[in-house]
């Protein structure tokens, strides 16, 4: 590769990364704004009382509370631990965890932008299937001793004061809107590194990585989605989580990568397995081990990995049977004019104004000193430092790339 060719591809990579982010910006703002509103105004008291059994009712409540508590993986892990510690059953806790990271509004919107409605349907149906399969596996293997030891390791939970203020009154209180603004800022603080790195990598892969690499990594990539045999689908569904495991990037940052994988001929099953893999990455494994011990952490990993493989297969064959399996012609994000004057431009401008209002309320209004704390899982300090420096390096890469593109 000549130097001029390298510089040209560098500029294209930076433009693609920024274009991807511009496509998804309004969806990020909408999703995190809704998440912040729900977490401040919707009470979660008595959750543990409705999630105490391993029956269908507890599973349903766990899934519902997870849906309305949609958040990043680290927040979901901390809330799941608290619920389990306060008496929620293991299966209901897992239902909450899976729902709060897969059945989320912002993720569905971003998936629709990059991959289309079929993948959104796959995401939500798949999220439900993951919960049901984990419930079934726990019932079959019945790991009572491991669960009991994990609960003992957590110890006794402290009693908390119940907030009996109705939502209608909460909405009228200015301090709660300040909390919404602070929560919105926290949502971005939790994901900015993952999103930055994920979108930068997506641009680099789009510009620099040849199709031959994906044909080697994912065997028998094809032009259509009905050509794959069982063993090929199995390989794709296993390699998908492995690729996610190696990237350390959260689900929101992984969506443009998922779109690129699909565009390179990876099967629907492989791409869905990749998207579902945010809870089987190494940081999550380590956090669960810190909470519950390594036996419980590995049990959770085995349950989730098995569930996502089965779910990926069910979705692929189910969509194929219904004739709605997506094909490559429906996903072509690399040949778009990202910055033209269309609905995305006006949506972004509108939601940037909303973002400005929320940031002002949380950090610059007269009541900005109101405290708002949210429990988070303990992150690895060295990993966070690595991600921080990689994010800063990504900004340098993008800035130089855009200057190259302009010149």
Residue 185 lies in a domain: yes
Residue 179 lies in a domain: yes
- Compute the distance between CA of residue 71 and CA of residue 51 in angstroms, rounded to an integer: 19
Most confident of 26-40, 232-246, 290-304: 290-304
Taken as a whole, the chain contains a residue count of 407
CA torsion sign, 201 to 207 to 209 to 214?
positive
Mean pLDDT of 54-74: 76
Res. 370: pLDDT tops 80: no
Residue 222 lies in a domain: yes
DSSP reduced 3-state for 106: helix
- Compute the distance between CA of residue 202 and CA of residue 23 in angstroms, rounded to an integer: 13
Exposure of 387 in the CB half-sphere (CA atoms within 13 A): 22
Q: Which domain holds residue 250?
A: 11-153+171-406
Residue 161 lies in a domain: no
Residue 163 lies in a domain: no
Confidence band (pLDDT; 50, 70, 90) for 392? very high
Neighbour-count burial of 322, counting CB atoms closer than 10 A to its CB (0-12 exposed, 13-18 middle, 19+ buried): exposed
Q: What is the pLDDT of residues 148-204, one digit of tens each?
A: 999 888 876 555 556 667 777 888 888 889 989 998 888 888 778 888 888 898 888
Mean pLDDT check: name the lowest of 247-256, 269-278, 280-289: 247-256
- Compute the distance between CA of residue 140 and CA of residue 133 in angstroms, rounded to an integer: 10
Regarding predicted confidence, which is higher, 327 or 277? Answer: 277
Confidence band (pLDDT; 50, 70, 90) for 134? very high
- Number of domains composing the chain: 1
Q: What is the pLDDT of residues 49-60, one digit of tens each?
A: 667 666 788 888
Exposure of 122 in the CB half-sphere (CA atoms within 13 A): 31
Res. 340: pLDDT tops 90: no
Question: What is the signed CA dihedral for 201, 206, 209, 211, rounded to 10 degrees?
Answer: 140
Nearest CA-CA partner of 115 in 328, 276, 270:
328
Residue 383 lies in a domain: yes
DSSP reduced 3-state for 326: coil
Res. 110: pLDDT tops 90: no
Mean pLDDT of 5-33: 88
- Compute the distance between CA of residue 263 and CA of residue 324 in angstroms, rounded to an integer: 17
Mean pLDDT of 37-41: 77
Q: What is the pLDDT of residue 207?
A: 86
Q: What is the pLDDT of residues 372-381, one digit of tens each?
A: 666 666 667 8
pTM of the shown model: 0.78
Regarding predicted confidence, which is higher, 7 or 329? Answer: 7
Q: What is the pLDDT of residue 190?
A: 76
| Degrees to nearest 5, angle at CA 110 with 405 and 47 | 145
Mean pLDDT check: name the lowest of 102-106, 113-117, 152-156, 335-339: 335-339
Res. 212: pLDDT tops 70: yes
Residue 166 lies in a domain: no
Q: What is the pLDDT of residue 248?
A: 56
Mean pLDDT of 274-282: 85
Mean pLDDT of 222-245: 78
Q: What is the pLDDT of residue 58?
A: 82
Residue 5 lies in a domain: no
- Compute the distance between CA of residue 281 and CA of residue 386 in angstroms, rounded to an integer: 16
Residue 196, both tokens: 């930055």
């Amino acid at each position: 590769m000549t130097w001029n060719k390298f510089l040209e591809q560098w500029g294209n990579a930076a433009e693609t990364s920024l274009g991807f982010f511009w496509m998804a910006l309004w969806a990020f703002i909408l999703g995190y704004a809704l998440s912040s509103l729900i977490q401040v105004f919707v009470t979660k008291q008595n959750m543990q009382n409705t999630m105490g059994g391993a029956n269908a009712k507890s599973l349903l409540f766990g899934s519902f509370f997870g849906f309305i508590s949609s958040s990043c993986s680290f927040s979901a892990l901390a809330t799941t631990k608290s619920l389990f510690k306060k008496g929620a059953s293991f299966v209901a806790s897992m239902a909450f965890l899976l729902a709060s990271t897969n059945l989320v509004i912002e993720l569905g919107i971003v998936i629709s932008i990059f991959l289309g409605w079929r993948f959104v349907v796959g995401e939500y149906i798949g999220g439900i299937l993951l919960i049901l399969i984990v419930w079934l596996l726990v019932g079959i293997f019945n790991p009572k001793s491991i669960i009991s030891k994990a609960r003992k390791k957590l110890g006794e939970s402290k009693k908390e004061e119940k907030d009996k203020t109705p939502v209608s009154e909460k909405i009228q209180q200015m301090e709660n809107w300040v909390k919404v603004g602070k929560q919105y800022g926290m949502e971005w603080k939790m994901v900015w590194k993952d999103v930055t790195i994920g979108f930068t990598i997506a641009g680099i892969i789009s510009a620099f990585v040849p199709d031959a690499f994906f044909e080697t990594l994912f065997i028998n990539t094809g032009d259509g989605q009905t050509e794959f045999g069982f063993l090929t689908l199995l390989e794709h569904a296993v390699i998908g989580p492995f690729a996610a495991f190696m990237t350390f990037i959260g689900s929101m940052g992984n969506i443009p990568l998922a779109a690129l994988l699909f565009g390179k001929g990876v099967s629907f099953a492989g791409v869905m397995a990749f998207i579902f893999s945010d809870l089987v990455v190494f940081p999550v494994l380590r956090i669960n081990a810190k909470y519950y011990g390594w036996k419980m952490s590995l049990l959770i990993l085995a349950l989730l990995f098995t569930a996502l493989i089965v779910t990926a297969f069910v979705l692929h064959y189910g969509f194929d049977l219904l004739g709605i399996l997506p094909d490559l012609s429906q996903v072509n994000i690399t040949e778009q004019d990202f910055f033209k004057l269309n609905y995305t431009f006006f949506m972004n401008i509108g939601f940037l104004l909303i973002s400005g209002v929320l940031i002002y309320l949380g950090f610059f209004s007269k009541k900005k000193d109101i405290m708002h704390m949210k429990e988070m899982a303990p992150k690895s300090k060295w990993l966070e430092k690595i991600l921080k420096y990689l994010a800063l390096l990504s900004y340098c890469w993008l800035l130089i790339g855009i200057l190259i593109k302009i010149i």
